[in-house]
């Protein structure tokens, strides 16, 4: 039976990346390391054996391994075999207790033989923990409490050594009875100091074996190591599995895998953190290091002409790819430079343009995954060309190079935060038209070559857009969208794409700079409409609330300030043909009303007043209004009497209440209904104070 990397029955669980062409969406279920152990005698590490427990939401099956199982074992072996204290060791035992969905688990014994680069795995049957039974729990408990072979069996301990590697050494290293040192943390997060306990030769910047905080990154590396084999004429990955197959499967007997592992020879160069100050530095790095265990800093350069930095050959940087702060020093005249790598696929972070820089061309077409953030900042004034065609994963993306005109990019699959500032590109679709669950998005123009901004996110907690463009909610393939807060500045039009079936927004905020004259609210649900046009021009003249607004849930909050040209004198308006139509539908559940410096009339409130005066047990009961305030513009015709009556009935707040009549009395006094305190007189009669 040939092993397949299509490991999860659910199809959308486990690894974000599998084999080529089998990408599985953006949702990553829980995958964590519950326990990692190695054995010590005082301060002496006894042997290379490692025992660990992993938990995953993948669906494990008989006669098949999960990539999380095989990948975790491979990572442990890869890190373990490079430790100086194990350079003479031949065998590397690993015991894995794997727990997976629905409530099952299995035990995997692995042993890597350095001499033949062979990894042998013995896999138990799948144990079920769905029902109470002592046998399965007893088996797992025994393996959890067991000791490694170098402690329990001296003969096996001796065989762990590679005698060829020992050379002229006359005696084997001591293997004393040891004690286990538990390497675990809440949620399985392995901190750097503990990672150094796992292997002090592991560079500090090397990612932990399994980390929920950077889950996607480690899973990507496992895909990179396991899912690829060497193609003719191409440099291979860090290691690869070849000829993986079942050797035997008989009922409940263990299945045995024999895997050929290929490890490259040690790199000639020091593949740790480095500064690239010349083309020669770049050549040395790319010719010797597929993986850089640390940061790669660019500059400063001593050359006078344009410097072309080429990192072809580097496939992963376990650190930040960024620029030296010395690049922006006034006393250092830096040349223009280009930075490219056709092979780089994974990096912890990219930071270009945080300092003043003269980079003009940045080309990383194969870059897929960025662990922490990808930033091309606004100080990259000279950058005009950016190629990130393959980038689809980065927790945070910032693009704000003001003179960027050419952007090669396809799309995003896993991003949670985005900051896009002024650029001269022709489209933002590859960044904004993606089905993503976003936490915070800020898009600030101007974008002189962009006429329309299309938002295709499935959800966003905060979405801020500031540009003189048309905004379309709903991407090319988005069917549902939910936004916690949508803040708009300068937008000329607000539209909804036809195929968007559901569009829900909690809060819509329109600032002073909004350029929409006739606002049509295209939402299926809205809880708060906030329009502030106090300080600048006041272009807004009408607002259309659709019929579905009647059934909006959660309580509707209406807050409009400083829009004297906005006509709220009636719930009716005229359509394109000049016919009288209803343009405002009051929600049944109103929680707050604050209107100031707006042309308003009593007829606009007629449906609201009628509902508030109705009986409490009616089909549409009165709303519970926490606050009410109306201060009309000077050209309004508005009277507070109906609202004072509602307050007397207890249908409007006694405390948070303010209402100004628009009529001016002959004496020149302006009648004002001030906030009414909780007193017997004000509760029964109300108070009208003439402010002379």
Q: What is the pLDDT of residue 177?
A: 37
Predicted confidence (pLDDT) at residue 568 exceeds the cutoff of 90: yes
508: nearest Cα among 521, 493, 497, 498: 521
Query: CB atoms < 10 A from the CB of 1, how many?
Result: 10
Q: What is the pLDDT of residue 461?
A: 97
Are 167 and 47 part of one and the same domain? yes
List Cβ neighbours of 610 (8 Å cut-off, separation of 6 or more). Answer: none
Q: How many domains does the chain have?
A: 2
Q: Mean pLDDT lowest for which of 117-126, 196-205, 546-555?
A: 196-205
> 351 lies in which domain range?
269-415
User: For residue 308, is it within any domain?
Assistant: yes
Q: How far apart are CA 598 and CA 614, in angstroms?
A: 27
Instruction: Report H helices in 336-386.
Output: none
Residue 430 falls within a domain, yes or no? no
**Is 306 within a domain?**
yes
176 has pLDDT over 80: no
* 352-372 average pLDDT score: 92
In this prediction, residue 31 carries a pLDDT of 53
Residues 77 and 188 in one domain: yes
Axis-axis angle for helices 641-648, 606-613 (nearest 10): 20
Last residue within a domain, chosen from 415, 448, 472: 415
Same domain assignment for residues 113 and 242 = yes
Which domain-ending residue is among 372, 397, 415? 415
My answer on whether 186 and 298 are in the same domain is no
Residue 9 pLDDT > 90, yes or no?
no
261, 294, 309 — which closes off a domain? 261
Mean of the pLDDT values across residues 309-321? 93
For residue 538, the model assigns a pLDDT of 67
What mean pLDDT do residues 601-611 have? 97
Half-sphere exposure (Cβ direction) of 385: Cα atoms closer than 13 Å:
10
117 found inside a domain: yes
pLDDT range class, residue 423, cuts 50, 70, 90: very high
Question: Cβ distance 647 to 663 under 8 Å?
Answer: no
Answer whether residue 379 shows pLDDT above 60: yes
Domain presence at residue 132:
yes
Q: Are residues 38 and 187 in the same domain?
A: yes
- Phi and psi torsions of 242, nearest 5°: -130, 145
Q: Do 343 and 249 sit in the same domain of this protein?
A: no
Cβ atoms of 129 and 105 within 8 Å: the answer is yes
The verdict on residue 506 lying in a domain is: no
User: Cα 195–281–371 angle (5° rounding)?
Assistant: 35
Mark whether 329 and 298 lie in a shared domain: yes
Query: Average pLDDT in the 638-661 region?
Result: 94
Contact 73, 54 (CB under 8 A): no
166 and 42 housed in the same domain: yes
**Is 208 in contact with 187 (CB distance < 8 Å)?**
no
pLDDT for 440-480, tens place per residue? 999 999 999 999 999 999 999 999 999 999 999 999 999 99
Higher pLDDT among residues 675 and 289, named by residue: 289
- At 209 the pLDDT is 29
Same domain for 218 and 315? no
Is residue 211 domain-resident? yes
Is the pTM higher than 0.85?
no
As a whole number, mean pLDDT of residues 56-71 equals: 77
In terms of domains, do 64 and 188 share one? yes
Is residue 58 situated within a structural domain? yes
Euclidean distance between CA atoms 212 and 190, whole angstroms: 9
Residues 362 and 220 both lie in one domain: no
pLDDT at 464: 97
């Amino acid at each position: 039976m040939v092993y397949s990397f299509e490991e999860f029955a659910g199809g959308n669980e486990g690894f974000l990346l599998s084999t080529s062409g089998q990408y599985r969406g953006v949702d990553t279920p829980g995958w964590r390391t519950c326990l990692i152990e190695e054995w010590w005698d005082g301060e002496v590490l006894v042997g290379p054996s490692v025992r660990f427990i992993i938990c995953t939401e993948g669906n494990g099956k008989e006669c098949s391994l999960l990539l999380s199982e095989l990948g975790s074992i491979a990572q442990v072996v890869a890190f373990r075999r490079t430790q100086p204290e194990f350079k003479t060791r031949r065998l590397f035992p690993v015991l894995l207790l794997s727990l997976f969905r629905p409530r099952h688990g299995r035990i995997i014994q692995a042993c890597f033989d350095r001499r033949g680069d062979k990894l042998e795995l013995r896999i138990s049957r799948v144990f079920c923990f769905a029902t109470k039974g002592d046998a399965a729990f007893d088996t797992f408990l025994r393996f959890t409490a067991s000791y490694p072979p170098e402690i329990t069996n001296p003969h096996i301990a001796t065989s762990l050594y590679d005698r060829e590697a020992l050379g002229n050494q006359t005696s084997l290293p001591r293997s004393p009875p040891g004690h286990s040192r538990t390497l675990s943390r809440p949620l399985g997060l392995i901190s750097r100091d503990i990672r150094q306990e796992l292997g002090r030769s592991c560079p500090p910047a090397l990612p932990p074996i399994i980390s929920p905080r950077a889950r996607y990154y480690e899973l990507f590396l496992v895909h990179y190591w396991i899912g690829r084999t060497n193609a003719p004429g191409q440099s291979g990955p860090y290691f690869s599995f070849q000829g993986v197959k079942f050797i035997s499967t008989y009922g409940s007997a263990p299945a045995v895998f024999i895997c050929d592992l290929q490890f490259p020879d040690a790199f000639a160069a020091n593949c740790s953190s480095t500064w690239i100050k010349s083309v020669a530095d770049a050549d040395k790095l790319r010719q010797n290091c597929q993986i850089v265990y640390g940061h790669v800093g660019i500059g400063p350069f001593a050359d006078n002409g344009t410097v072309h930095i080429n990192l072809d050959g580097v496939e992963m940087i376990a650190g930040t790819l960024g620029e030296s702060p010395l690049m922006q020093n006034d006393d250092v005249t830096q040349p223009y430079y280009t930075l490219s790598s056709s092979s780089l696929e994974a990096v912890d972070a990219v930071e270009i343009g945080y300092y003043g820089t003269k980079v003009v061309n940045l080309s990383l077409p194969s870059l897929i995954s960025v662990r922490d953030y990808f930033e091309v900042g606004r100080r990259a004034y000279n950058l005009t060309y950016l190629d990130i065609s393959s980038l689809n994963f980065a927790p945070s993306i910032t693009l704000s190079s003001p003179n960027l005109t050419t952007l090669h990019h396809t799309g995003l699959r896993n991003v949670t935060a985005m900051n896009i500032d002024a650029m001269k590109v022709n489209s933002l679709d590859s960044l904004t038209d993606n089905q993503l669950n976003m936490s915070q998005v800020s898009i600030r123009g101007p974008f002189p070559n962009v006429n329309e901004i299309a938002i295709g996110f499935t959800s966003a907690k905060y979405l801020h857009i500031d540009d003189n463009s048309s905004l379309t909610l709903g991407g090319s393939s988005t069917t549902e969208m939910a936004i916690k807060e949508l803040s708009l500045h300068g937008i000329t039009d607000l539209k909804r794409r036809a195929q968007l079936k559901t569009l829900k927004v909690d809060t819509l905020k329109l600032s002073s700079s909004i350029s929409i004259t006739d606002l049509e609210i295209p939402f299926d649900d809205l809880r708060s409409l906030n329009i502030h046009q106090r300080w600048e021009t006041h272009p807004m003249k009408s607002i259309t609330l659709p019929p579905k607004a009647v059934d909006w849930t959660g309580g509707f909050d209406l807050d409009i300030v400083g829009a004297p040209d906005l006509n709220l004198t009636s719930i009716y308006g005229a359509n394109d043909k000049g016919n009288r139509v209803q343009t405002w539908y009051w929600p049944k559940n109103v929680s707050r009303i604050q209107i100031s410096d707006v042309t308003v009339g009593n007829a606009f409130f007629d449906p609201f007043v009628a509902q508030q005066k109705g009986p409490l047990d009616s089909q549409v009961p009165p709303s519970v209004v926490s606050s009410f305030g109306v201060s009309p513009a000077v050209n309004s015709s508005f009277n507070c009497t109906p609202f004072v009556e509602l307050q007397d009935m207890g249908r409007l707040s006694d405390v948070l209440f303010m209402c100004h009549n628009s009529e001016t009395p002959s004496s020149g006094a302006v009648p004002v209904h001030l906030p009414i305190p909780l007193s017997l007189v004000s509760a029964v009669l109300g108070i009208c104070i003439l402010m002379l």
